Structure 1
Amino acid sequence: MVSLRGWASFPDELPVFDPDATPAAPHELFVGWLNEAGEHVLAPHAATLSTVDTDGTPDARVVILKDVGPGGWAIATSSESPKGLQLRKHPHAALTFFWPGRGRQVRLRGPVTPAAPEVSAEDFLARPPASRVEAFIGRQSAVLHDPAELLDAAREAERWVEENPGVAPETWTRYLIAPEEVEFWQASHDRRHVRLRYRREGDAWVRERLWP
């Protein structure tokens, strides 16, 4: 077995986090942390999306955050992808953001709602051409028996996108995660990490410090 204890977890200098100087709504603090992380790490808007399979087994993968606002955190994928099918069966999910260069983590979880078809189509058409081609190829996570099949499917998808530049797949779906809890975690070298949880109560948010 290879020991991994010698690897550093965080940089020598870590930012200061004062939970008493935080906004009333979690998305406001999140945007501040996100923008700050973008100055230090690549793809700060990448997050681990956790869902539950049909048999209750947890599943996770990294996705890109589309937007964030008072209503929640938005992602997008095909409704026929594994995560789309899981969200259809169990419309709850968790998102985890980790920025090791700043020693920060944000965790949130809550119900997931698909957007209206026109909103999902607008999201799809805003994607780069290569990303639109990928979506039209489909069959995500299916077994690929011959790489030549992928090349053929990609050529067909490229042709379709070129001939139908304003068309989005009916399966493309934008999802909104409306969290019931959002936790902000700031690492500390003395291991007394600072944790602040926003917990929804009705239309308001309650802020609570948590033990490390």
Structure 2
Amino acid sequence: MDISDMRRDFESDGLDRSALEANPVKQFEVWFEDARKAGILEPNAMSLATTGNDGVPDLRTVLLKYFDNQGFVFFTNYGSRKAAELDQNPNAALLFPWLGLNRQVILQGAVEKVSKSESLKYFASRPRGSQIGAWVSTQSQVITSRGLLEQKVAEIKRKFGDGDVPLPSFWGGYRVIPHRIEFWQGRPSRLHDRFEYLRQGDDWLIQRLQP
């Protein structure tokens, strides 16, 4: 199927160096709030790219749960494919595709596990069904039927009854500590505005990139 004629021009007011915050995390917060106010579906959904020892890139969508100057945090099963790859190569890239605003944000950085207390605090805030789901799934492993998964759900529900669901030892958070963040604003004729922040010690270098 040839879809080469699918195209649209990106109409926007553009992005000026003078409009950027000195801190990229603050700039991200500004754009995140814009995405939320604009009604972008799941503005915290981000593509997470990892690479293991085999050098083959892997990609999936996960949800950002919080961010600050320390980094950008998501949660997952520590036995998953992404976790195995992060054990082998603790570096990742994130992409926020806010195309309804003709915007993208791209981050690259080192990855570390968050503390157990951070994981516990977030896990306790999850809906009970999601807590049970964390116990049920041996994430990324082969399963022969949906029925087996539902059987495991019933078993976990019986196990914990009406009591609190504890944090699984194999589940928790990762923090991506960016060394590079790019803000991409679509413009007509593919002459987009792109600015990257590069970490330099405690400071950030900001520079415009060609589209």
Q: In which range does the TM-score fall when normalised by the shorter chain?
A: over 0.9
How many positions carry a matched residue from both structures?
210
Deviation, structure 1 residue 6: 3.5
Partner residue, 1:33: 31
- The answer to whether the Cα contact below 8 Å between 2:9 and 2:190 also exists between their aligned partners in 1 is no
Partner residue, 2:73: 74
d(CA) in 2 for partners of 1:178 and 1:211? 25
- Could you say what secondary structure the match of 2:58 adopts? strand
- Could you say what secondary structure the match of 1:178 adopts? strand
d(CA) in 1 for partners of 2:147 and 2:19? 56
**Alignment partner of 1:19 out of 7, 17, 24:** 17
Partner residue, 2:143: 144
- The answer to whether the Cα contact below 8 Å between 1:48 and 1:61 also exists between their aligned partners in 2 is yes
The residue type paired with residue 30 of structure 1 is F
Deviation, structure 1 residue 10: 6.0
Residue 91 (structure 1) aligned with residue 90 (structure 2): yes
d(CA) in 1 for partners of 2:64 and 2:202? 24
- Could you say what secondary structure the match of 2:101 adopts? coil
Matches within 5 A, 1:107-122: 107-122=106-121
Q: Which has the higher contact order (CA 8 A, sep 6+)?
A: 2
Give the unaligned 5+ runs of structure 2: none
- Could you say what secondary structure the match of 2:49 adopts? strand
Deviation, structure 1 residue 166: 4.9
Q: Percent identity?
A: 33
CA-to-aligned-CA distance 1:132-157 (integer Å, 9 cap, x gap): 12111121122121222111011122
d(CA) in 2 for partners of 1:74 and 1:119? 10
CA-to-aligned-CA distance 1:28-51 (integer Å, 9 cap, x gap): 111111111122310011000000
Partner residue, 1:134: 133
Deviation, structure 1 residue 163: 4.2
Deviation, structure 1 residue 164: 4.1
Q: TM-score, normalised by structure 2?
A: 0.93
d(CA) in 1 for partners of 2:30 and 2:79? 34
**Residues 9 and 45 (structure 1 numbering): CA distance in 2 closer, same or farther, change over 3 Å?**
farther
Give the unaligned 5+ runs of structure 1: none
Deviation, structure 1 residue 162: 4.0
Deviation, structure 1 residue 14: 2.4
